């Protein structure tokens, strides 16, 4: 479903919305490093299970820092380039024309030093679950500011039309250090705990 966002190439006076570059791996962990290299993806990479079946493991994210660690991942999965985003993501719930946004804590930013020194795969269970609410946290305003409403309305309208859905949610992040560059990192057509 993220391909719809990529094809939109949404850019307005309120900001740009894209998706991180990604790659689907269906089997054979031993070939992941070659596939990543061929696709030109830049480490670190977020690894997400390809199918969310409701189990805790199906919502687990992993962060792979180096080529060697890629073979430790368990396909089928989606690999997505990691984008620093201040450790906060925005869950956008869409029901018909209504839109509700809540803040959630997310993976922390990765420094250049970490990228050059850290190796391995780090697992993060259920990163954006309801217990990880960041709505009342004392956050840097540049990180905590919600995405502009007109941008979300345009995105929701386009996705409703392209996906043929009226009930869904998406996870969106703001690239750290920018005011107006956003990435949709996940779309769920049957959202869990909705906060309307």
Tens of pLDDT along 50-96?
875 554 454 678 899 998 889 889 899 999 999 999 999 999 999 99
Measured distance CA(145)–CA(2) in Å, rounded: 23
Residue 195 placed within a domain: no
Which tens digits make up the pLDDT trace of 112-151?
A: 888 888 888 888 765 545 456 667 667 777 788 999 999 9
Which tens digits make up the pLDDT trace of 31-50?
A: 999 999 999 999 999 999 88
CATH number for the domain including 20? 3.30.470.20
- The domain tally of the chain equals 1
Position 35 scores a pLDDT of 95
Neighbours of 48 (CB within 10 A): 19
Position 116 scores a pLDDT of 83
Position 194 scores a pLDDT of 45
Residue 151 placed within a domain: yes
Residue 99 placed within a domain: yes
Residue 95 placed within a domain: yes
Element (H, E) at 26: none
Contacts of residue 115, Cβ cutoff 8 Å, sequence gap at least 6: 43, 44, 65
pLDDT interval class at 190 (50, 70, 90):
low
Residue 137 placed within a domain: yes
Residue 65 placed within a domain: yes
DSSP helix/strand/coil, 114: helix
Residue 115: DSSP 8-state = H
Pairing of strands 61-64, 121-124: antiparallel
**Per DSSP, what are the bridge partners of residue 102?**
91
Residue 140 placed within a domain: yes
Residue 113 placed within a domain: yes
* Domain enclosing residue 111, as ranges: 2-188
Q: Is 181 left (phi over 0), alpha (psi -120 to 50) or beta?
A: beta
Measured distance CA(177)–CA(88) in Å, rounded: 13
Position 12 scores a pLDDT of 92
């Amino acid at each position: 479903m993220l391909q719809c966002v990529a094809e939109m190439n949404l850019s307005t006076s309120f900001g740009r919305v894209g998706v991180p570059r990604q790659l689907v791996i269906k089997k054979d962990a031993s070939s992941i490093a070659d596939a990543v290299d061929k696709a030109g993806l830049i480490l670190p990479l977020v690894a997400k299970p390809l199918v969310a079946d409701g189990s805790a493991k199906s919502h687990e994210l992993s962060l792979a820092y180096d080529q060697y660690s890629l073979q430790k991942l368990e396909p089928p999965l989606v690999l997505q380039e990691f984008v620093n985003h201040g450790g906060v993501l925005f869950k956008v719930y869409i029901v018909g024309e209504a839109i509700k946004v809540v803040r959630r804590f997310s993976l922390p930013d990765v420094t250049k030093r970490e990228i050059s020194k850290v190796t391995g795969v780090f697992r993060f269970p259920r990163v954006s679950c309801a217990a990880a609410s960041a709505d009342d946290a004392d956050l840097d305003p540049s990180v905590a500011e919600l995405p502009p409403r007109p941008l979300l309305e345009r995105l929701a309208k386009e996705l409703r039309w392209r996906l043929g859905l009226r009930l869904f949610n998406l996870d969106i992040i703001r690239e750290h250090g920018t005011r107006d560059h956003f990435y949709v990192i996940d779309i769920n057509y049957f959202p869990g705990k909705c906060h309307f």
